[in-house]
Structure 1
Amino acid sequence: MKKVRAYLSSLLIAALVITSLPVAAAPTAPQGMDTASTNLASTNLVSTQSVLAGDRAGADRERINDILSRADVQEQLLKQGVNLDDVEARVAALSDAEAQQMAEQLEQLPAGAGVIGALFAVFVILLVTDILGLTDVYPFTR
């Protein structure tokens, strides 16, 4: 009887260990995967706040790009000696908070005076990132 009990308990333990292995070895995102792949592999829920923040940041960048695509703004940027490709790259590199702040500043500018204010805001952002060493636009910051 003791042999049967020992055999059954060993068999039961082995069965429990084998059935719990798939749970313990659940697939996780390997290191080195990009963010999109990690999000697809993840089973976590996405909060409404994070989705709205992403949409808001995209709308802010779109607003900034709309203003920067105007001919008069581009003309003024070229007069300031700013490369338009650098401006596009810089806007794309803005954090969500910086894009929101810049879009809010553009919204607060009075009609007609927005070009100068927008150019000044772009100039200041480019200058600050150049001083921090993130870009290489202005030679006088070295």
Structure 2
Amino acid sequence: MSRKILVGYDESAASRRALDFAVDRAKARGEGVLVAHVLEWSPYSFLTPEELEQRHTRRQEELARAEVRLMKPAIEQHAQSGVELTSLVKYGHVAETLCKLAETEDVSLVMIGRNGQTGLSSRLFGSVAGTLAQIAPVPVTIVP
């Protein structure tokens, strides 16, 4: 298969616009689209052994739920586009995980929607789009 455009997807209006734009670009470029959703998971280490045991089960349930509720409808929406779409659900820090995927999945471009965070909170805490623009190993398109 050819290279892919990686889309960070969270079912927000911005991520849906990014996916639509990525499918259009992929069709024009003869590439596929990899739609990725990243679940952030707290790395707390003060859990009891019982809680740690249950954690793995909860993680598997969350991954399966995200695949069915988020990814499957997103892929089905573009099924008739003629573009090969695949999906992945991962745990981790969103920007770092998307960068790792860009390195390991033969990605030529990352697309992400801008959720409109502005002002002081954006400058203090940063944003996924801003972080990706700075650290991604491939070009990043931020879709408004």
TM over 0.5: no
More helix by share: 1
In the superposition, the TM-score normalised over structure 1's length comes to 0.29
Larger radius of gyration: 1
TM-score (norm 2): 0.29
The structure with the greater share of residues assigned to strand is 2
